[in-house]
Each structure stands twice: as structure tokens, then as C-alpha cells.
Amino acid sequence: MKASRFILHARLAADTVPVAELPLSRVLLMNDARFPWLILVPRRAGVRELFELGARNRRQLIEEIALCGRALLEASRFSKLNIGALGNLVPQLHVHVVARTPGDDAWPGPVWGSGKPRPYSVVRRAALLRTLRLSIKARSRAR
Amino acid sequence: MKASRFILHARLAADTVPVAELPLSRVLLMNDARFPWLILVPRRAGVRELFELGARNRRQLIEEIALCGRALLEASRFSKLNIGALGNLVPQLHVHVVARTPGDDAWPGPVWGSGKPRPYSVVRRAALLRTLRLSIKARSRAR
């Protein structure tokens, strides 16, 4: 059952701040200073699983994941990416792109279910958002 | 630093059994009867992150993920997919495609770090492998 119009799931809206709009996905920053953590949400109503997207959208999605992954590593001192599409709690298709580094708060386990988020300070979040937006914009242009 | 030839990481080889060879990826079944769980490993030496694959390989990879996801749901009574590329313990790029269902051994948390695997019986594993191979083959032909 597809809704006619894309509306961001309330839980994703509550946990994040908007970063950018890519051709397919809305890019969000998780408000959790433990990990540099983006969430990509394809703006397609009613989609829960990757295979429900068409092939063209899947191709676009994986390019946007790669782009956001590079931007995230560039914006942080973290060294590894974790990418995940789970959706056990929030059915709307969304892809986590998380920067990790040995010794971080959940290493080497997954970030999902790893405890209470630690919200950013307003100043630190603004600085990270600025860096991420510039990097995503530059990488989008270069494509 | 790229090695010249693809060799499956020893940890992945130890935890899984081979299912199929797709154009890009080797498909493996995790020997854990708690969850129907495939792992796709692109046969490209030295690749750790998604963005290190070229765009053509990324496009192929997401198609193979979608194909394996559908085959896995079809072969099980599970209703949801979890997809993840972590690599915190095994650096070789590999993508988990896991079928989940409410009430399974880790629900609604992630499968990674969710406790000790429960190996399949020989009979059950053989039956699942047969079903998966037929489904993957049929879906590969249909493309």
C-alpha cells in the first residue's frame, strides 16, 4: 500500500536534523555526538525494502551512500564506515551511514542498540553540519 | 594497497558455506540457524569500503543485494530484511543480507553481536541451500 506523497517518519524526524537533499534521498544527521552518523531516506512513499525501489533508484541510492560515506569520513577523524538498512523499528526505508573508529563508544559492535544517544552541543553540531553540507555539495557537483 | 587476486577472508570462510557465484559477488550462507543470513563478498581484492568499488561494480552490488534479499525472504517465513556492511572485525568488504521477523532471537535489535550462532543441522542446511540456489539461479536468469 503506497501513500501518494513522501512524508518523513516521525521517529526519524525527531532523532535527526536535516543536512541536504540529494536527487533521491533526504540526508539527515543523527543527533548523537558519539558517532558521525548520517541517515539517507529515499523520498519515495511507502517503500520499506531495498528491492521495492526500482533499479534506477537503487543505482542512485548506492551512489548517494558512497558520496555521504566519503563526506562523513572527511568531516571526522573516524576511519571506517558502517552502512546499514534495518527498519525493524521504523519501517520507512532508510540507510544508516556511520563513521566508526577503534575505541569508539560501541567498537567493535554495531551502533544500533548501543545505548543512549549523546546529543551534540549547538556549536559543535552547527560546525559539523556546515562541513558536511560543503563536502556533500562539492561532491555532488563533481559527479 | 591492493592484492592482485581475490582471496576470501579466513573468518568469513570459517563461519559460512558457499551458496552461489554472482557476476560480482560470492554468496555465502552464515552457519547460524537463528536467522536466514547471506553474506555477499565482491570478488575484488583489497576493497574495504563501498566507495572503493567503481560505480559499475556498486551498481552490480546493489542489484545482487536486492536479488539475494528477495531469495532469502522467499526461502524463509521471515518478513523483513536487514542489510549491513560493517567490517569492524573483518576488513574485506562484505554485505550481510539477513531475514528477520518479530520475535526472532535478536528482535528488534541487530543480529551483529547478538550472541552465539546456532549451527544448522546438516539436513536443514542442505534443504535451505538447495532452495536458495534454485531461487538465486532463477532470479539471475530472469534479469
- CATH code of the domain in which A49 resides: 3.30.428.10
CA distances from A2 to A54, A111, B81 (A): 14, 30, 19
Number of domain units in chain B = 1
Residue B8 in any domain: the answer is: no
CA distances from B20 to A139, B17, B87, B106, B140 (A): 36, 10, 21, 27, 11
Q: What is the ipTM of this complex?
A: 0.95
The C-alpha atoms of residue B8 and residue B92 are separated, in whole angstroms, by: 8
Residue B53 in any domain: the answer is: yes
What residues of chain B lie within 8 A of the CB of A59, using their CB? 58-59, 62
Residue B109 in any domain: the answer is: no
Residue A10 in any domain: the answer is: no
pTM: 0.96
Position B16 scores a pLDDT of: 98
Residue A112 in any domain: the answer is: no
Position A4 scores a pLDDT of: 77
**pLDDT tens per residue across span A9-53:** 999 999 999 999 999 999 999 999 999 999 999 999 999 999 999
What does the pLDDT average to over B33-50? Answer: 98
The answer to whether B51 contacts chain A (CB < 8 Å) is: yes
Q: Which has the higher per-residue pLDDT, A133 or A77?
A: A133
Sign of CA pseudo-dihedral A31, A82, B106, B64: positive
Indicate the residue of A81, A88, A109 with minimum beta-carbon distance to B80: A88
- Domain of residue B99 covers 18-103+118-142
Nearest chain A alpha carbon to B66: A51
Nearest chain A alpha carbon to B88: A108
Count of residues making up chain A: 143
